[in-house]
Amino acid sequence: MAITFDYEKCSGCGRCYDLCPMDVIGWNKEKNQPTPDYSEDCWFCGSCWLECPDRAIDIQYPCCFW
């Protein structure tokens, strides 16, 4: 999974959901929290991580061997 959320830190602002250019992040309306719905489609652009005011997002970048 490329994206994980720390729900204890997340305030539910929705910036990550609004800004993801690949629609990787879904939204749980009942809990008012983001969900990693299409993590396999993540381009690792980091826009969600950069815009999160709570620093509640962690991105696991793929490992590359040269």
Rounded to the nearest 5 degrees, what angle is found at the Cα of 63, between the Cα atoms of 35 and 1? 15
Domain spans of the chain? Answer: 3-59
Instruction: Tell me the CATH number for domain 3-59.
Output: 3.30.70.20
pTM for the full model?
A: 0.83
pLDDT tens digit sequence for 3-20? 899 999 999 999 999 999
pLDDT tens digit sequence for 18-47? 999 999 999 999 999 999 998 889 999 999
